[in-house]
A and B are shown apart, each in its own frame.
Chain A
Amino acid sequence: MTDRTGPLLQVERLNTSFETRAGTVRSVRDVSFEVGRGEVVGIVGESGSGKSVTGLSILGLIERPGRIVSGAIRFDGEDLVGMSEARMRRMRGARIAMVFQNPMMTLNPVQKIGAQIAEALTEHARLPAREVRARCIRALEAVGIPSPEARMEAYPHEFSGGMRQRIVIAAALVTEPDLIIADEPTTALDVTIQAQIIHQMRRLIDETGAGLIWISHDLATLSELADRIVVMYAGTVVETGTTAEIIGAPRHPYTRQLLASVPSANAPGRPLRQIPGMMPSLLDIGDGCPFASRCERRTEGCARPVPPAVLSETRTVRCLNLPEDRP
């Protein structure tokens, strides 16, 4: 069943919408990207960019009033869109794992952490108790929990925030998934703890060959971790490329302005370059370029759908009026 030649995950022209009383919110529009084995793909975007909804769509966790309107999500050659809930549940337990921002919402406060990690294993397979225990301890070790054997008996409140997030990651890893989707997993953590977890995540991906989708608003963290970056804005992918391409030579006007607006790209004490205006509402948003209203390069054509232009093997950009190669 496993096809080792193609990409691990192929998202193709995904559209996910939410029906509300005010109208249809088109959260994800025509989103395509791929994730290879052993690859870390970062999805970066601001609130309302559709990055989290993209992750939830892959996990099959879009619930009414939301739905996947069209598109394909091929995981190991098999389309996840339209898969039965029972099969999708097995998929999530065994082969696709998730890590969310707040570990206290993921962990059960009244259950020992050993039992919680074991649950991921025993839910989908019958394994001898001794092996379950050994694998749990290995997973805790892999994420850097000291004396894992003793810590199996502890409750979530006995750990610090950083340690709890490690436990959630251990629970995600214990089934040896092929794909991990992490949504802002270190955003709530302190700088030094964040650096530790990112370091460990990178090592684990390199060792296990799993694919990792790291969803974040933080360009700096992504630039240090990801192999490739997908930039999202108002529900669409505006640009994809290798990390070196996106950070070193951004082409889409939004990516360029976003990178130019972070404090470290500006001289201390000087006004930051800022993007004028606001992200448009996703309610009944049209098919034109969503960035057009804030873009200094816009022309009349931007009101019509803008197809992604393939610039190279690794790079696509969705812009009619591409600026020069170098900013």
Chain B
Amino acid sequence: MTSVPMIAAHELSKVFPLERGLWSALSRKLSGRPPRRVQAVDRVSFEVAPGETVGIVGESGCGKSTLAKMLAGLSGTNGGELLLRGRPLAEVMSDPRQALKVQMIFQDPQSSLNARMKVVDIVGEAPVVHGLIPRAEKEARVRAMLERVGLGPEALHRYPHQFSGGQRQRIGIARALAVEPELLICDESVAALDVSVQAQIINLLMELRRDLGLTMLFISHDLSVIRHICDRVIVMYLGRAVEIAPTDALFADPRHPYTRMLLAGMPRISTERRAFLEVAGEIPSPLAPPAGCHFHPRCQFRTEECLAQRPPLDPVDARRSAACLRWREIG
């Protein structure tokens, strides 16, 4: 990583207050208790190189979607530093033309496409409004984008409901590509698709990444998809990054006990009934995360120390790190 990273996040945090409004503010003042809040993202640091595909994986409440929204400029930060190509993200986002460089593809193409707009407008409006192309070239641009994502020109004047789920996701991708982004954030973008359609969309995303040199952040709960398309993976648990590693190393030799549990729980296609290992415990509520290492109540390796202190994200080797006091003994 000698060049300027596409994304550099340092101690990035996001806190959501749970009590809003006069009444709760007043009752809190009177009782003198501290405000209730959720630390959705808790001092997360990482870098993404240009052209790299980085996966963010974790279960409900781990903060992966909040992190994605912060990176897309859809949600502010409460602390830490977030740089896009070396410039503060907030500064980049204040310039509409620059903000287009980051695009997001959502899980549900049904609700992220305007049902009352034709495809030609859904895909073509942003590049025209932002002055990337003159209005006269709009249809030609949309036509080219549709071809790029494997849709024919007959799609131009149809509405989203006239397409299947997979086709709608292609339209969502075409809309993102039409403004010439550098960074594509995919938030569970293939989760709602059927297996055979999912394969088509994953292939499309990998093809686009190669042809256009896109940097991608791929947020998913599906480890097999992450494994297939990502160069590196960030594993999150209750708001914190617990392990960051190249994909092959992570799957071959996970160092954080949570990563190990996640990989063990991953369903695999097999010809034999599986002897399920008993996975310990539930994910604690993000409202009251356990002290010290958040994972300690479910961890078979825990010691007294784990209850008391937050483990730092320690470098394991040049390319990977793990937030576990005992990573040397694990793996």
Contact = CB atoms under 8 A, between A and B. Distances in A.
Residue from B166, B267, B271, B283 having most chain A Cβ neighbours under 10 A: B267
A73 to B, nearest CB: 27
B228 interface: yes
A190 B273 contact: no
B269 A265 contact: yes
Interface in A136-182: 160-163
B59 A192 contact: yes
A262 interface: yes
B208 to A, nearest CB: 12
Nearest to A49: B194
B247 A220 contact: no
Contacts of B165: 47
A284 interface: no
A219 B194 contact: no
Interface in B216-274: 221, 223-225, 227-229, 247-248, 261-262, 264-274
B283 A224 contact: no
B270 A247 contact: yes
B276 interface: yes
Given A220-B268, A224-B268, A198 B199 contact: no
B269 A223 contact: yes
A264 B269 contact: yes
A163 B278 CA distance: 16
Contacts of A163: 282
Interface in B153-174: 164-166
Contact of A278 (B164, B270, B277, B282): B164
Given A195-B276, A264-B224, A220 B269 contact: yes
A199 to B, nearest CB: 4
B59 A261 contact: no
Contacts of A225: 273-274
Contact of A195 (B223, B265, B272): B265
Given A199-B278, A223-B270, A247-B270, A191 B265 contact: yes
Interface residues of A, number: 46
A106 interface: no
B265 A194 contact: yes
B199 A46 contact: no
Interface in A260-287: 261-266, 268-269, 271-275, 278
B110 interface: no
B228 A224 contact: no
A262 B224 contact: yes
B237 to A, nearest CB: 11
B200 interface: yes
Interface in A220-239: 220-221, 223-225, 227
Nearest to A191: B265
A133 interface: no
Contacts of B203: 271-272, 274
Contacts of A192: 59, 261-262, 265, 279, 283
A247 B268 CA distance: 11
A52 interface: no
B27 interface: no
A160 B206 contact: no
Contacts of A193: 59, 279, 282-283
A199 B275 CA distance: 8
B92 interface: no
Given A274-B199, A275-B199, A263 B228 contact: yes
A243 interface: yes
Interface in A198-254: 198-199, 202, 217-221, 223-225, 227, 243-244, 247-248
A257 interface: yes
Given A191-B265, A217-B194, A271-B206, A161 B228 contact: no
Contact of B202 (A46, A161, A224, A272): A272
A292 to B, nearest CB: 16
Nearest to A220: B267
B60 A199 contact: no
A212 B264 CA distance: 25
A223 B271 contact: yes
Given A191-B221, A263-B202, A273-B199, A160 B271 contact: no
B18 interface: no
A108 interface: no
Given A217-B194, A217-B195, A268-B248, A274 B200 contact: yes
A190 B59 contact: yes
Given A190-B60, A243-B273, A269-B228, A224 B267 contact: yes
B2 interface: no
Given A243-B271, A243-B273, A262-B269, A162 B282 contact: yes
Given A191-B223, A247-B269, A263-B227, A268 B195 contact: no
A271 B228 CA distance: 9
Nearest to A144: B278
B94 interface: no
Contact of A202 (B164, B225, B273, B277): B273
30 contacts: A47-B165, A190-B59, A190-B221, A191-B262, A191-B267, A192-B261, A192-B265, A195-B264, A217-B194, A217-B195, A218-B267, A219-B269, A220-B267, A220-B268, A223-B267, A223-B268, A224-B274, A227-B273, A243-B271, A243-B272, A247-B271, A258-B196, A263-B225, A269-B228, A271-B203, A271-B206, A274-B203, A275-B199, A278-B164, A278-B166
Interface of B: 59-60, 164-166, 194-200, 202-203, 206-207, 221, 223-225, 227-229, 247-248, 261-262, 264-274, 276-279, 282-283, 285
Given A190-B60, A192-B283, 17 more contacts: A47-B165, A163-B282, A198-B276, A199-B276, A219-B195, A224-B268, A243-B272, A247-B269, A261-B199, A263-B199, A263-B224, A263-B225, A264-B269, A268-B227, A268-B247, A269-B229, A273-B199
* CB-CB nearest 5 A-B residue pairs: A199-B276, A220-B267, A46-B194, A190-B59, A263-B228
